[in-house]
Amino acid sequence: MVGCGALGCEFMKNFALLGVCCGPSGQLVVTDNDRIEVSNLNRQFLFREDNVGKPKSEAAAARALAMNPALNIDAKQDLVAPTTAHIFDTDFWNGLDLVCNALDNMKARLYVDGQCIFYEKPLLESGTMGTGANVDIVVPHMTRSYADGGAADEGGGVPMCTLRNFPHLIDHCIEWARAKFEDLFADPAQKAAKVLEDTATFVKKTRAETLQAADGRASKISKEVPKLQKLIASLEMGIKGPTMEDAVLLAWRAFHELFRDMILDLTDKFPEDATTAKGEPFWSGHKRFPTAATYDPANADHVAFLIASTNLFAAMLGIPGPKPPSERNQPGEKRWQAAYRKPEWLAAMLAKLGGPPERVQGAVDLEGDDAAKKQAEAAGDEGAREEAELEALLGRIEQIGASATGAFEPADFEKDDDDNFHIDFVTACSNLRAGNYSIPAASRHKCKMIAGRIIPAIATTTASVTGLVMLEMFKVLQGKPVEQLRNGNYDLGSNQYMMFEAEPPAQIKTKVEITMPDPKEHPDAYDAKGELVDMYKDPDMMLGFAERVLCHPDPHTKYDKFWVGPVPPTATVQELLDAINVTFKDAGLHVAMLAGPTQRTECEKDEHNPTGLRAGARALWNPLLSSTKANLDKPWGPLLKHLTTRDEMTWQTIDDPVDVSSKRLCTELEIQLHNDDDDEVKTPVVIIKLQPFDFESYKERKQREVAPWLEEACKKQRSA
């Protein structure tokens, strides 16, 4: 089971009370890298106040064992992701019977879904959103995968023009504050690290992405100027050795930039009596006329913003050292940065600064509001000034880059640590923004909910959806046909319930792919009704617009796969080719090309490729490339690593090299197969075994024969 929050607690209870994983060979592996917060206690019912700060998986396991001591649990505190593939490795996934997701984000769900597809494991998937819930049962070869269900929305967006200049709801202010957190405490540190690594490359890349950009040049320059200003301030601090006084200065400047200067820039551009091109009042409807802030030491939000910002700047500059994990938070004077949380200390520091900084005028970013943008452009063009300013900033970075030093640590937003100043900053920043626009302020709790993308779980919804999952789990374990499996969507609030059969997996089969020809260049391609004539639909006519895509097996699904080997990495490329050819001999297929995975490589930007990146793969063997013939006698594992490693002269990849020396399976190779007519044939994934590996397809698996144990266990329990 992946995750041990609201859903995970209910699943643990169900597993314990239903006797799942209680036999001699049974085991429930549950993992969650999160720790229990006070806010969890109202909906994650296995946790109590004395569990706060403890790992969720361990606390839930202890409660479940109290319900059923026979439950065999292995509680882990590891994230399930590509970065933990050494923990949840090939043997781990291959040894499972079922996988149960109790997750709250799409990225993790899709990763687990991909692992279940590869290792052909049934997946019990569910989720809640308020009073709504869904059940998705995924069975290899029988149902579509979770990813096939379509993209799920993890939250709606707000137009950027509304966030930047025209908020009218507190939610807009909170979203804006969350974005400013990244702009102030993450982006400068990330850029500083790149400057320290290679100043010339950073300047060249920045100039290419802004001054030399093909599209949206003016907007990109306008956005980059304030970012480079913050970067230079950070670099200069790093050179001289940053102190808490420097962090206060940065926070003081940020206060006036965000809540005074940006507001004055906007009201200068659009005064209170401004009108649109149609003569209507500009400040009307949802557009509220803002008022610039003046620092007030009696205003709690003003003080809170400066204290939070000061400590976050200090952490970014590496002044206090790393913060201890949240479970080691201390109260009172032992609290992290306790001396720098006091308003009295802040007041003493501000007294040394000599009053507010001078106003720094900047451009108003009106992207997303076309009418306002056109009106501003008609009033005057600031493009030339900003372009000159950007050039000057890049020149300054080149000057200080060589001597720049420091350890810059970008902030990684964490909503559940009450001592790290993250939610403190978002709350104060949101309310100051709201004050600019006469919007009612929000509580810290609301700011945490919105900035942290939290939708509270409702215990009734959670209990009901996990109960439905248990019913489907028994069907899967009993080998019921797909017609008897049920997925579902329902809403307890509106009393609407929909249960339906799980859909079979999509079939991949031989087909004809058609590219519609340009009617100007090929007027004979279309009939009087505008429909494509048969000649252009026939791949045998070889006109280049219809291509037959061959498949083997025909059809197959995403669950199918071919196994080759074992072929160790020390074997030669020729030996690997021979092993693949043996696998496909009966199908009349042979290897036509063997290459590494597609990688992203750097290239010069131009109007056709504004990203400066292109995709490509390097061949281990290709009969059309004579240079690869020499590779046939080389060990394929080291060769693959060499070809996928960055080379400044020939292969400027930004992706990691592929090293299979410690792996049991390899799926990174791109293998092109042809039939006897030399036509390319698409196949399911081809997996190279690097060492002996036992795998049984789900279609061929039989139900486990488990020795009777329940009656004997009950006798022992009664006698005890």
pLDDT tens figures, 655-670: 889 999 999 999 999 9
Which has more confidence, 205 or 619?
A: 619
371: pLDDT strictly greater than 70: no
Asked, for residue 670, whether it belongs to a domain, the answer is yes
Asked, for residue 24, whether it belongs to a domain, the answer is yes
DSSP structure class, residue 558: T
CA 631 to chain centre: 38
Cβ neighbours of 327 (radius 10 Å): 12
3-state SS class at 376: helix
Q: What is d(CA 476, CA 472) in angstroms, rounded to the nearest whole number?
A: 6
Question: For position 151, what pLDDT does the model report?
Answer: 46
88: pLDDT strictly greater than 80: yes
Asked, for residue 329, whether it belongs to a domain, the answer is no
Quote the tokens at residue 64.
Answer: 């479940």
Question: For position 561, what pLDDT does the model report?
Answer: 96
Q: Looking at the structure, do residues 292 and 375 belong to the same domain, yes or no?
A: yes
Q: Looking at the structure, do residues 352 and 490 belong to the same domain, yes or no?
A: no
CA 230 to chain centre: 26
Asked, for residue 484, whether it belongs to a domain, the answer is yes
Question: For position 365, what pLDDT does the model report?
Answer: 59
By C-alpha distance, which of 661, 486, 460 is closest to 568? 661
Domain holding 541, by residue range, is: 509-554
Q: Looking at the structure, do residues 363 and 417 belong to the same domain, yes or no?
A: yes
By C-alpha distance, which of 451, 447, 549, 560 is closest to 505? 560
Give the CATH number of the domain where residue 316 resides: 1.10.10.2660
3-state SS class at 636: helix
Residues 6+ apart with CB under 8 A from 443: 427
Q: Looking at the structure, do residues 201 and 170 belong to the same domain, yes or no?
A: yes
Q: What is d(CA 181, CA 158) in angstroms, rounded to the nearest whole number?
A: 17
Q: Looking at the structure, do residues 394 and 538 belong to the same domain, yes or no?
A: no
Which has more confidence, 615 or 325?
A: 615
Asked, for residue 632, whether it belongs to a domain, the answer is yes
Q: What is d(CA 121, CA 4) in angstroms, rounded to the nearest whole number?
A: 20
By C-alpha distance, which of 238, 235, 223 is closest to 183? 223
Q: Looking at the structure, do residues 176 and 76 belong to the same domain, yes or no?
A: no
Which has more confidence, 307 or 151?
A: 307
370: pLDDT strictly greater than 60: no
- pLDDT, tens digit (0-9, with 9 covering 90-100), for 70-81: 999 999 999 898
Question: For position 702, what pLDDT does the model report?
Answer: 78
Give the CATH number of the domain where residue 661 resides: 3.10.290.60
CA 326 to chain centre: 23
DSSP secondary structure string for all residues of 300-338: HHHHHHHHHHHHHHHHHTTSS-PPPPGGG---GGGSTTG
405: pLDDT strictly greater than 90: no
- pLDDT, tens digit (0-9, with 9 covering 90-100), for 520-542: 888 898 988 888 999 999 988 88
- Tokens 């909910």, located at residue: 449
Q: What is the chain's Cα-based Rg?
A: 31
Is the Cβ–Cβ distance between 165 and 286 less than 8 Å?
no
Share of the chain above pLDDT 70, in %: 91
Cite the DSSP H helix spans in 558-611.
Answer: 573-583
Question: For position 156, what pLDDT does the model report?
Answer: 46
Question: For position 457, what pLDDT does the model report?
Answer: 74
Q: What is d(CA 353, CA 58) in angstroms, rounded to the nearest whole number?
A: 50
| Domain-terminating residue out of 451, 467, 490 | 451
Q: What is d(CA 685, CA 243) in angstroms, rounded to the nearest whole number?
A: 56
DSSP β-ladder status, 680-682 and 670-674 = antiparallel
| Domain-terminating residue out of 554, 587, 617 | 554
First to last CA, the chain: 31
Q: Looking at the structure, do residues 490 and 517 belong to the same domain, yes or no?
A: no
3-state SS class at 672: strand
Residues 6+ apart with CB under 8 A from 208: 605, 612
Reply yes or no on whether 100 is catalytic: no
Mean pLDDT along residues 476-501: 92
DSSP secondary structure string for all residues of 214-253: SSSHHHHHHHHHHHHHHHHHHHHHHHH---HHHHHHHHHH
Quote the tokens at residue 66.
Answer: 């109290």
- Tokens 């010069």, located at residue: 604
Is the Cβ–Cβ distance between 76 and 30 less than 8 Å?
yes
Question: For position 400, what pLDDT does the model report?
Answer: 80
pLDDT band at 152 (very low <50, low <70, confident <90, very high): very low
Mean pLDDT along residues 19-44: 87
- pLDDT, tens digit (0-9, with 9 covering 90-100), for 43-87: 788 999 888 888 999 999 999 999 999 999 999 999 898 889 999
Question: For position 379, what pLDDT does the model report?
Answer: 46
Q: Looking at the structure, do residues 289 and 407 belong to the same domain, yes or no?
A: yes
Question: For position 242, what pLDDT does the model report?
Answer: 85
Q: What is d(CA 104, CA 127) in angstroms, rounded to the nearest whole number?
A: 7
Q: What is d(CA 604, CA 209) in angstroms, rounded to the nearest whole number?
A: 11
Question: For position 194, what pLDDT does the model report?
Answer: 82
685: pLDDT strictly greater than 70: yes
What are the distances in angstroms from CA 340 to CA 241, 307, 349, 423?
19, 7, 10, 17
Cβ neighbours of 330 (radius 10 Å): 11
Q: Looking at the structure, do residues 545 and 570 belong to the same domain, yes or no?
A: no
Mean pLDDT along residues 28-38: 89
Secondary structure of 109-160 in the HEC alphabet? HHHHHHHHHHHCCCEEEEEEECCEEEEEEECCCCCCCCHHHCCCCCCCCCCH
Residue 266's φ and ψ, nearest 5 degrees, are: -70, -45
- Range of lowest pLDDT (8-12, 192-196, 490-494): 192-196
Is the Cβ–Cβ distance between 183 and 316 less than 8 Å?
no
Mean pLDDT along residues 408-414: 86
Residue of 22, 116, 161, 666 marked catalytic? 161
Give the CATH number of the domain where residue 23 resides: 3.40.50.720
Q: Looking at the structure, do residues 549 and 624 belong to the same domain, yes or no?
A: no
| Domain-terminating residue out of 434, 451, 468 | 451
pLDDT band at 374 (very low <50, low <70, confident <90, very high): low
pLDDT band at 553 (very low <50, low <70, confident <90, very high): very high
Is the Cβ–Cβ distance between 653 and 599 less than 8 Å?
yes
Q: Which helix (H) or strand (E) holds 680?
A: strand 680-682
DSSP structure class, residue 599: E
Question: For position 52, what pLDDT does the model report?
Answer: 86
By C-alpha distance, which of 585, 510, 588, 580 is closest to 551? 510
Asked, for residue 135, whether it belongs to a domain, the answer is yes
Asked, for residue 328, whether it belongs to a domain, the answer is no
402: pLDDT strictly greater than 70: no
Cβ neighbours of 481 (radius 10 Å): 8
155: pLDDT strictly greater than 50: no
What are the distances in angstroms from CA 179 to CA 184, 354, 583?
9, 30, 53
Which has more confidence, 219 or 133?
A: 133
Q: Looking at the structure, do residues 116 and 264 belong to the same domain, yes or no?
A: no
Mean pLDDT, all residues of the chain: 87
Prior bond to 539 cis, omega within 30? no
By C-alpha distance, which of 576, 584, 556 is closest to 688? 576
Share of the chain above pLDDT 90, in %: 53
Number of structural domains (the chain) is: 4
Prior bond to 657 cis, omega within 30? no
Q: Looking at the structure, do residues 666 and 574 belong to the same domain, yes or no?
A: yes
Asked, for residue 189, whether it belongs to a domain, the answer is yes
